[in-house]
Amino acid sequence: MLDIKFIRENPEAVKENIRKKFQEEKLPLVDRVIELDRQNREAMTEANTLRASRNALSKQVGMLMGQAKKDPSKLEEAEAVKAQVKANAERLAQLEELEGQLAQELRQIMLVIPQMIDPSVPIGPDDESNVEVERFGEAVTPGYEIPYHTQIMERFDGVDLDSAGRVSGAGFYYLMGDIARLHSAVLAYARDFMIDKGFTYCIPPFMIHGNVVEGVMSQTDMDAMMYKIEGEDLYLIGTSEHSMIGKYIDQIIPEDSLPHTLTSYSPCFRKEKGSHGIEERGVYRIHQFEKQEMIVVCKPEDSMAWYEKMWRYSVELFRSLDIPVRQLECCSGDLADLKVKSCDIEAWSPRQQKYFEVCSCSNLGDAQARRLKMRVKGENGTYLPHTLNNTVVAPPRMLIAFLENNLQADGSVNIPPVLRPYMGGQSVLTPKH
């Protein structure tokens, strides 16, 4: 959410930013915001004037009533002032109601106007315009067949989608045996990897209130992603970023405590509304998964440096697991409305001979901080911090990349050295079938 003062002083820049995001239907909202802001400020000014005159008029009534004891003619004058006090009170009540209505409408529109994107963001309408920046590791296609990921898992008796379908429906899974252990090993390794980078480990709430949801994500993303608990003001989180950033709602953060660097584990729940392939067999796009996340709350001047560090942590982790990756810069039309800048880390799929998304790193500037009323108290007053988030790992999707890139010709799966302590010392998984 943008600062109303910024919109008031830079309406054309805000409109140009909307055009860069290919959301021309939102252009009239800028003029509407400016008009509502004008009306609201006028109402506030008039209300403040009435409040300031209230005490003076009340004193005048008291004085006239006292004088009326000696001079009855003053009684009529006192009654006239009383009538003015009553009229002012009625007008003040109307203005206060109007202020509330204008502020509510203003906020709802402000939540829809996108954040100003960073000048370095490539311009394009959708993800087809995302730009590959750099590759890490050699994208190898072996001379033997790489089966579909569920076929690899089934060789280890490692997945049961049929039972999950009977129990929960499409988009769910049972992981079993070595594959389930591998899933947990990857999460544990990712946790320790981030702790070694100086991040504080956290397990957050898995449900959050509606005002936190509104604070951390756009309405469009909320409708497409979030599961609401019926009869409660609670939503299941789609990623631990939601509750981790929500931790700071209405908080004043001492400047000398920044940056806050946290890494969190959670299950994640997503509707995947409108997504394609949810009925397909596999664990690529699912309603429930587990994830290790990283978030940073920092000074505005430090956020771009943290953005660079965070996506490189993802690259380092995936390369330590022998998975080739690339960094893909997200274009303007592919950025969620709260994001200033974002990139995806994509893993190589030797079966498909293409890359697919496994991490998403985002700088949200002060958007979440303004929505959640987070503030930093510094030497020269308070200001809004910047927030960033990035996926560390999100199995079971990440397992697809792991299994494909570590599959051997005999059907076994190599376990990279960094992961072996989390797999009971195993260096290889041998299939049962």
Residue 75's pLDDT is: 66
Q: Kindly state whether residues 201 and 145 are assigned to the same domain.
A: yes
Q: Kindly state whether residues 42 and 176 are assigned to the same domain.
A: no
User: d(Cα 307, Cα 18) in Å, to the nearest integer?
Assistant: 23
Going by the DSSP 8-state scheme, the letter that residue 279 receives in this structure is: T
User: d(Cα 427, Cα 179) in Å, to the nearest integer?
Assistant: 14
Residue that the structure tokens 């996340």 belong to? 293
Blockwise average pLDDT, block size 10, the chain, 433 residues = 94 98 97 96 90 72 60 65 77 91 94 96 96 96 94 96 93 95 98 98 97 88 86 95 96 98 96 56 87 98 98 98 98 96 97 95 97 96 98 94 97 98 97 91
Final residue of a domain: which of 51, 77, 110? 110
Going by the DSSP 8-state scheme, the letter that residue 420 receives in this structure is: G
Give CA torsion, residues 378, 382, 388, 392, to 10 deg.
Answer: 50
* 300: amino acid identity, one letter: P
Q: Tell me, yes or no, whether 119 lies in a domain.
A: no
Those residues with Cβ within 8 angstroms of residue 2's Cβ, 6 or more apart along the chain or in another chain: 14, 110, 113, 115, 116, 367, 370
Output the CA torsion sign for 191, 194, 195, 196.
Answer: positive
Q: Kindly state whether residues 263 and 313 are assigned to the same domain.
A: yes
User: d(Cα 433, Cα 419) in Å, to the nearest integer?
Assistant: 24
Q: Kindly state whether residues 173 and 24 are assigned to the same domain.
A: no
Q: Kindly state whether residues 83 and 175 are assigned to the same domain.
A: no
Residue 128's pLDDT is: 95
Q: Kindly state whether residues 80 and 198 are assigned to the same domain.
A: no
Question: Count of domains in the chain?
Answer: 2
Residue 318's pLDDT is: 98
Q: Kindly state whether residues 36 and 184 are assigned to the same domain.
A: no
Q: Kindly state whether residues 341 and 280 are assigned to the same domain.
A: yes
Please state whether the predicted TM-score (pTM) of the whole model is above 0.85.
yes
Compute φ and ψ for 368, nearest 5 degrees: -70, -40
Q: Tell me, yes or no, whether 205 lies in a domain.
A: yes
* 282: amino acid identity, one letter: G
Final residue of a domain: which of 78, 110, 142? 110
Largest CA distance in the chain: 113
Residue 76's pLDDT is: 63
Q: Tell me, yes or no, whether 406 lies in a domain.
A: yes
Q: Kindly state whether residues 148 and 256 are assigned to the same domain.
A: yes
Can you list the alpha helix ranges (DSSP code H) found in 69-203?
73-110, 149-155, 161-167, 177-196
Residue 224's pLDDT is: 78
Q: Tell me, yes or no, whether 413 lies in a domain.
A: yes
Residue that the structure tokens 């997503």 belong to? 270
Final residue of a domain: which of 110, 139, 174? 110
Q: Kindly state whether residues 85 and 234 are assigned to the same domain.
A: no
Q: Kindly state whether residues 94 and 29 are assigned to the same domain.
A: yes
User: d(Cα 319, Cα 401) in Å, to the nearest integer?
Assistant: 11
Q: Tell me, yes or no, whether 116 lies in a domain.
A: no
Instruction: Provide the residue range defining the domain that includes 342.
Output: 127-429
- Nearest CA to 208 out of 238, 172, 170, 253 is that of 238
Residue 278's pLDDT is: 45
Q: Kindly state whether residues 346 and 199 are assigned to the same domain.
A: yes
Residue 222's pLDDT is: 77
